[in-house]
Structure 1
Amino acid sequence: MASNLLKSTNYASSLLTGLKDMRDTAVLCDFTLVAEKNEFKVHQAVLAGCSDYFRAMFTIDMQEKGKNVIELLGVPAQGLTILLDFIYSGELRCTLDNISDVLIAATHLQVTDAINMCNNYLEELTDRQNCTDMYNVGDHFDLQKVKDKAMGYILSHFEDITDNGELMKFSAKFLTMILVKDSLRISSELKLYETVLSWIRFDSPNRLQYIYSLMSCVRFPLMSPVDLVEKVMTEPMMKENMQCLELILEANSFHMLPVRRPSLVSPRMQIRNEQLSLIAFDIEDSERLESTNVLDVETYSWHTLYNCNLETYLGETCSIGSYLYMCGGIELFSCAHPVSAKCYRYDPRFDEWEMVASMQEPRHDFALASDDKSLFAIGGVSSGSIKGIVERYSPRRNQWLPCKPLVIPVKGLASSHHGGNIYITGGEHTGNAVSNKLWMYNIKQDTWHEKSPMLQCRMDHGMCTYQDQLYVIAGYGKNLFKAYDVPNIEVYNIELNQWTIISQNSPKTSSINAVLIETKVYLVGGFSYDDNQKRSDVLCYNIDTNEWDIVAKISAPAMSVPCTAIRLPKNIFD
């Protein structure tokens, strides 16, 4: 006969109540704890059931095994009282006045549940006013949640905290840990430099020894040349330290060779922001591209950068590090609107655009890829015909050099980088033939290799790389010269050389770029052949959930919107 499992809903609480009553009346207690000369009658089995410390004591041949009384040195009686009440009831009586004693007892006796409850309690209480004290408590007891939340407040409100006098209490180690963070929110590196000087001067006999370790965390290249000359190079403490002089020399080199900045590698040249932002250009028929739109992907709010003034539109964008490049497209200031070879570079550190070396071949409707060291311009249209020309841009040389050309000329293709290779997919060949081909370019060997083709032909689609896989999104195909949307996502497994369709219900859109930020892919604007309409949506595809959302709008419907992702200074969003 089958049996039924019946479960009591209040058995555990009844058991705890019974055990607590037995402890309160000293019934069957078989062990005594002593803390600060106070005795606590307990049950060995109960302690062993919730504490690894006591389980080891009672079951392993430790010095205390077999004893009926043990003194807990260094454990406060108040903390032990509250902890034992928790062990016998599941309820922890915490206040800011007793939390330290409770944690001392809980960590000493390895009562994990109590430690976790203290961690959660202190995390909830952490705020802008007490964050430095809370961090110290979290650090002392290794409470990661408390440390993370407190550090978040410290990094977000660093200048307010230091202006209130908290700075002078910081140790050199703690201050260094803050200064190296990309997420440190400050008004300027000059302000940070002056903050470090103030900290040293507060106790210079003891703190001057830390000047280089601290100053090496200040990003001098991000200061203006004027501030470097007038505020840094005139400081005696900097001039008298040879290592600090090397920091100044590094900053001067950064400013003297602006074109080569993307090839200079140093953590001091990096923007203080861990979050990528989506950059999108207004490309409708305007006389000049005067502004760039920035989407904050945390709030999905738009911000505008006005210092643009480019002389081309419908170009292609890409990034090297935190530098943005816009190449090719159509010339604005010409009646004939010829195809352009011009290239521009944007440095968000100083909100500056600069023209760099032009491509050897004017082109539009091409692919612009990056391996984070060089740019690669691939295919496209030039002089009225589809080209297979490939060239590579070196920021260090500020020069474009020819690469192995494509086997088949193509336009409207998409590209992405993985490992030491550039991958291109789809596009249109001469004769209106839309392609499903996948080609891999080996950068080191300068060779092209054909891989397994996509399951569907498409052009003007989006493509990005995520976790060793290529994601190809949307676009359009042609059937007897009639265009149709391709509303799906294909994923290419690089190791297996195999394609899979993972979504059949993607938005109907083409003439888009796919921009990956963390686990989300963004598409800006576009065009649908289903209704012959341009789009104004900013679409977001979540790779983890395989779901689409409309997260923002652009000012007007547009297609072929140049967009990419880079890190921007946080003060842009202020």
Structure 2
Amino acid sequence: MANNEFLQEMSVTFRNMRHSDEMVDVVLVFEETRVKCHRLVLAASCEYFRRMFQTEMQERDAGEIPMKNVSSTTGLLLVEYLYSGNIEMSTENAQELLAVSDRLLLTKLKKNVEEFLCEHVEATNCVSLKNFARLYGLESLLEVTHRFLTTHWKKLIDMQSEIDELTEDDLITLLTTYGSDEGSFLLLQKWVRSSHGRIGRFMDLLQNIELTLFSKEFVWRTIMSDELMQNPKGVKIIQEAMEALLSADRNLSLVVGDFNRNIWISVDGKQWRVIQVPFSECGSYSVTSSSDGFIVSGGLANKTPKRECYAYVTHTRQWRTLPPMSVGRYYHSSICDQDEFIVIGGRINEKSHLDSVECLNLKTLEWSQFPDLPQARCLSNLLHVQNQLFVVGGYLTKTTTARDIYKFDSTERKWQTCSPLPEKCGSVGAVSFDNKIFVVGGQLRSCKQYDPCTDRWVQLPRPRFGHAFGPALTWKDKIIVCGGRGTDSIEEFDPQSDKWSTWGLKVPKQCDMCFALITNGHQ
């Protein structure tokens, strides 16, 4: 008989003997539950019991051994493990099982539970599990929770229980790493208000945040209205931030591009200059702004969808190559939010659209997969509103427009459907402003506002010109739509007055435009 079969049969025999009370000689007491066992089996399978029964501990000859701080449920599972080597783990019992295995010197079980916990790290437990890992010296779990926390830190803003457990050191690490993200201020707000004793730390911790890299709108509406800033030091910080932001406004440049490798920049608002590109044959790509310039991804070259990605750094006027996407695609959409560059949808040919979503971590330069879109599409608008990712419209086929609006639930890791566009809005632009979505331009001269809080649309005054494939952006608290098919006009919408006006500057060509964005630092 093979050794494994022999050991399995022996295990079954011992278990049967325990259940029938044969030759049992000790009782383990878990709360109100008494479990009869064999000293020999306990000593053979657990170092803690072996030492107990071999030394002069008072439990050595005791008929009953109280197992303090072990629940009845976990105690029964533990005894089953000591007799069989098997145990049922769940997210409900894993932490208690690990604590017990650490106490009873069950090294293998402790490692197995740690591996189980590593596979079940999520937004609702990442902070508590990180603290738990520190307590029990769980290096693998500590690494996994740290990586998850630094990647998904924005989810904490809506996780009160996890905010409560976030240590100040971990908070400082997040603030110093992501201090240029507006979400860092929201995280600090929630953290200091989660405990009365933390309020006094607000001003000191605020020094880890780069307010000068936030939008004027955010500083004005969110930071200035916070009562924690209503003190001489806070007022001075706000004044310095606003002065820096107003100064930066004077150095902003407008960058636009079509689908045919032409990219222009206007530094003075009067004339355009060409930006040379490193991809001579590729068009139909996607372009989005980044913290230091913009990123170009994918495209179509010689009828082949491309995977390549390039980043343009404005102040150096240099291009650098990024890791390629896993799938070649064109007419897709992209967005960059701090250290995450996300691409969605697109085409692989005229008849085949994609529903896949990829994310590049710009620090580690590693790609990861997001859940697929509910429906494949191309040429959608991709934007963030209050730290939530939205997909607006697009094309389902070459001629069929999509009215769907999707929101990504970062906690559940799935896409949710929102109230659809009130009318077909192909080739429109969309922007995030004042925590709302504005859909502007397109063939039908659209101008609509969507409020994610109420899931409702409001019709606004239409622009003067049609802007089919005229991209939109926000600039100085206004919404700008740039050119498009059949027009070179740039129009500006003021959400405060609900009025449109036309710029003196025009886009370089009357054609389908791929993108328009604002960048800082180009001379």
Q: TM-score, normalised by structure 1?
A: 0.45
Larger Rg: 1
